[in-house]
Amino acid sequence: MTPEIQSQKTRELCNLAPVIPVIVIKDITKAEDLARALVAGGLPVLEVTLRSDAALDSIRAMSRIEGGHVGAGTVLTPDDAKRAKDAGAKFAVSPGLTDRLIQACSDLDLPLLPGAVTASEVMRAADAGYDMLKFFPAEAVGGAPALKSLAGPLPKVSFCPTGGVSPDNARDYLSLPNVVCVGGSWVATDADVTAENWSAIEARARTATALR
Ligand SMILES: O=C(O)C(=O)C[C@H](O)[C@H](O)COP(=O)(O)O
């Protein structure tokens, strides 16, 4: 799958809801209920970061939830991409972009949402065929004003800003012409997942759907 088609797919996914919950899951037994709560709350696209041992099995379990689109986050290497694909991930998210990752995701037919921040990084990703990118770490590199500045010279590239995005600043990003959705971990907090407080997570998801 070419990078152009990959971006077409990730753009479609990013268009499904204003927020992609970024999930760091430690307990596989919570995966299905968590996904069910988020999808029920109106957020069907879920990013499960490969930063925990439970991540791959959780992607497998969450993929069973009807209406959900489960992808893998923190995909850094071809091996990460392969393991994510084998677990059933429908897309991959990376904080950056490497030649090896482009090759792996193209070979695996795994749509990649790669990260880029500077004009050069964005130009390099666009040159490779990716026009739907993650802007990470959004707040730390200048937030919405920084991202807005990129829209001038690079109007054809769209972003999913992630990193420090919250209900307080999400609208600043979502109002930009080059933002399709935002990503964030605030919807599925560690505390609520541990306490199995699914109704609170569903309610937060529902609030997030109204951000746009
Ligand atoms: O692992 C990755 O590749 C990431 O996506 C990094 C962070 O988990 C997200 O950027 C979420 O950041 P917060 O919403 O600020 O918690």
The whole-angstrom separation of Cα 50 and Cα 24 is 8
Q: Is residue 126 within 8 Å of 97, Cβ to Cβ?
A: no
Q: Enter the tokens of residue 48.
A: 């499960």
- Ligand 1 site, residue 73, Cβ cutoff 6 A: yes
Cα–Cα distance, 156 to 204 (Å, whole number): 32
Per-residue pLDDT of the chain (212 residues; tens, 9 = 90+): 999 999 999 999 999 999 999 999 999 999 999 999 999 999 999 999 999 999 999 999 999 999 999 999 999 999 999 999 999 999 999 999 999 999 999 999 999 999 999 999 999 999 999 999 999 999 999 999 999 999 999 999 999 999 999 999 999 999 999 999 999 999 999 999 999 999 999 999 999 999 98
State residue 42's pLDDT score. Answer: 98
Rounded to the nearest angstrom, the distance between the alpha carbon of 171 and the centre of ligand 1 is: 18
- DSSP string over the chain: --HHHHHHHHHHHHTT-SEEEEE----GGGHHHHHHHHHHTT--EEEEETTSTTHHHHHHHHTTSTT-EEEEE---SHHHHHHHHHTT-S-EE-SS--HHHHHHHHHHT--EE-B--SHHHHHHHHHHT--EEEETTTTTTTHHHHHHHHHTT-TT-EEEEBSS--TTTHHHHHTSTTBS-EEESSSS-HHHHHTT-HHHHHHHHHHHHTT-
Nearest-angstrom CA–CA distance, 85 and 108: 7
- CA nearest 84: which of 123, 58, 118? 58
Q: Phi and psi for 130 in degrees, rounded to 5?
A: -95, 120
166 CA distance to ligand 1 centroid (A)? Answer: 11
- CB of 3 closer than 8 Å to CB of 106: yes
Of 167, 134, 103, which Cα lies nearest the Cα of 13?
A: 134
Q: Tell me what pLDDT residue 212 has.
A: 83
ipTM (interface pTM): 0.94
CA 21, 188, 204: angle at the middle one, nearest 5?
A: 90
Ligand 1 atom nearest to 184, measured from its CA: 14
pLDDT of residue 15: 98
Q: What is the pTM of this model?
A: 0.97
pLDDT over 90 for what percent of the chain?
100
Measured in angstroms, how far is the CA atom of residue 52 from the centroid of ligand 1?
Answer: 13
